Amino acid sequence: MTSLEQPIHEILNQMETAWNRSDSASFAALFAEDATLIQIFGGQLDGRAAIEGSHRVIFDTIYKGSHASFQVQSIRFLRPDVAVVFTRARVKFQENNQPRELETRPTMVVVNERDQWQIVAFQNTRISEMPSAAQAAARLAK
């Protein structure tokens, strides 16, 4: 890991810690004030306040007591102060008293402004089995 990559890895470490403490304020603090987050169902959250509020709700409901892990897969610097970060996330939680696990591929754009790295865009995609061509066509036809 290079010295340029270290702060980006730290963002993921802080994200994991905040999630596992159900700390929506610390989670949202990793995002720029005007950041955009697209969650796994396609919903869009605009701004840090919306990101914090949404995570407060899910930490109190569907992901209450959940445990998340985040891993950097790759970092591509577009400039020394802008990077696209491909990650992998795993969330373990309970649903109807049954253990569940969800895997996603968050993609982030991070920017360094005034010596602080922050997430400006976050797209979370759930990992699922790739449908056959016929299944994909049937889904698109709906």
pLDDT digits (tens, 9 = 90+) for 90-129: 999 999 999 999 999 999 999 999 999 999 999 999 998 7
- Per-residue pLDDT averaged across 34-42, rounded? 95
Pick the CATH number of 6-141 from 3.10.450.50, 3.30.450.20, 3.20.20.80, 3.30.365.10: 3.10.450.50
Q: Which residue in this structure is represented by tokens 């754009």?
A: 109
Q: Quick count: other Cβ atoms within 10 Å of Cβ 76?
A: 9
Whether the CB-CB separation of 117 and 7 falls below 8 Å is answered with yes
pTM of the model: 0.88
Q: How far is residue 55 from each of residues 13, 15, 59, 100, 112, measured CA to CA in Å? A: 17, 12, 6, 19, 24
Measured in whole angstroms, the distance separating CA 78 from the mean position of its chain's CA atoms is 20
